[in-house]
Amino acid sequence: MSEAPVLFRTLPCRSQAGGESLIGVATLNAPATLNALSLEMITLLDEQLAAWDADPAVMLVMLEGSGDKAFCAGGDLQQLYRSMREHHASPQAADPLANSYALEFFSREYALDYRIHTYAKPVLVWGHGIVMGGGIGLMAGASHRVVTEGSRLAMPEVAIGLYPDVGGSWFLNRAPGHTGPFLALTGAALSAADAQFARLADYRAAHTDKARLIDMLQTQEWAKAPAANHEHLNGLLARLQQCAPPAPASPLREHYDLINDLCASGNFGDMVLRIATLESEDRWLQKAATALRKGSPGAAWLAFAIQQRAKHLSLAEVFQLELGVSLVCAARPDFAEGIRALIIDKDNQPRWQPASLADVSETWGEGFFAPLNLEGKTA
C-alpha cells in the first residue's frame, strides 16, 4: 500500500444526466497510529474535498479508515506536544498565538470540519472501529454517518487536559437531554447504538457489508442535484441497515433517566460531585465516574463552561470560539501534561494544575475566553 497518509481515488458510477460520474473516496492511511490526524493529513483532505466539491462529475464523497481497527482515533498529538513544550520554554510563553504550529493545526482542522458540516454534496463516513476526538470531528458534520458492530466512539479529551473540541461544543449541545455535558465530563465510550441515540450516527451496518455498499453506490443512478442525491443515499443506507444484525442494548439510552437526574441541576459543582461519587454495579457507569475523577479538573470546568457559552452560537461562531480556547489550552500546562502522562511517558500520573476543582477560580477559568486577535491568522 502507498505510504501517503491519505489515499484518494475515484470510482465510476451511473448518472441520470449521462456523461462521466464519479464517487470520491478518501482513505485515512496511518494504521500504525489508528489513523490519527496529522497536519499533513488535514491539509490533504481539505484540499481534495474542495476539489471534489468543485468537480461536477463527483456525485458524492466517502471517507474511510485504513485497516479494521479504526476510522480515526483523534489528532496526532506528538508534534503538537513538542510545539507546546517549546512554546512553554520560550520568552513568548504567555502569548497563546506564539505557538505557530498549534495555531496552524487547530485552524486547519476546524476549517476542514466546518467544510464537511457545510458540504453541499453527500459525505458518507464509514465509522468502523475506533472513532475518537478528531475522528468524531470528521464524522459529526458528515451528511451520512454509518457505524458498525465494531464502532467505538468517545470524546475523552478531559483525560489529556483538553475539552471536546472539533465542534463538540456544537454537537454535544444537541445531544438528547443532559447527555452532552455527561459525555463531555466523562468521555464515556459509545457503541453503535449509543452513537445513533446521541445523534452522532445516522445508520448502522455490518462491517462485512462495506463492499456491498460500494457496489450499490456505483450502480445507483445519481442526479445532478445534490438534494436528490442525499435522498438516494438515504435509501441505500436504509436498505443496508435492514440487513444488519440487531444491535446490543445502548448503555447511554439505558441510563438516560439517571444521566438526566445526575445533570439536572445545571450546576457544574453539583453535577461533578454527583457523577464522581456515583455508586453503581454497572461497569459502563463505573468507568465514566472514574474517568471524571482522574481527568483534569480544569479541563472538566472548561468542558462544561464552553458548552454553556456555545448554546446560542452559530456553527461558524462555535469553531471560532473553540480555536481561541484551544490555543489557550496549548499555552497552559494541563494539555501538555496530559499528553505526557498518557501518551509520551505513559506513567498515567498527570500532575494537573489546578490539582482540584476547589482550586479552579473564576478568574482562572475566564482566562480561556480572553479575546485573541485571530484576524488574518487562521486557515
- The catalytically annotated residue of 24, 75, 133, 324 is 75
Cα distances (angstroms) measured from residue 168 to each of 21, 171, 184: 34, 5, 8
| C-alpha neighbours within 13 Å on the C-beta side of residue 167 | 27
- Pairing outcome for strands 130-132 and 70-72: parallel
Instruction: Find out whether 126 and 62 touch, Cβ atoms under 8 Å.
Output: yes
- The catalytically annotated residue of 24, 134, 137, 141 is 134
Q: Cα torsion at 231, 237, 239, 241 (round to 10°)?
A: -140
Residue 281 appears among annotated catalytic residues? no
Give 3-state DSSP helix, strand, coil % of the chain, rounded to 5: 55, 15, 35
- Between CA 127 and CA 122 the distance in angstroms is 15
- Pairing outcome for strands 6-12 and 22-28: antiparallel
Residue 67 appears among annotated catalytic residues? no
- The catalytically annotated residue of 46, 165, 322, 334 is 165
Instruction: Find out whether 352 and 364 touch, Cβ atoms under 8 Å.
Output: no
Say which residue the cell 472539533 belongs to: 166
- The catalytically annotated residue of 113, 157, 202, 337 is 157
Cα distances (angstroms) measured from residue 321 to each of 80, 110, 166, 314, 377: 20, 11, 11, 10, 14
- Between CA 295 and CA 290 the distance in angstroms is 8
Residue 347 appears among annotated catalytic residues? no
- Runs of H (alpha helix) within 126-265: 134-140, 168-171, 179-186, 192-197, 210-219, 226-242, 251-254, 256-262
- Triad 158, 164, 167: Cα angle to 5°: 170
| Residues facing 130 on adjacent strands | 70, 152
- Between CA 13 and CA 218 the distance in angstroms is 4
Reduce the secondary structure of 272-330 to three states and give it as a string.
HHHHHCCCCCCHHHHHHHHHHHHCCHHHHHHHHHHHHHHCCCCHHHHHHHHHHHHHHHH
Catalytic residues: 75, 134, 157, 165
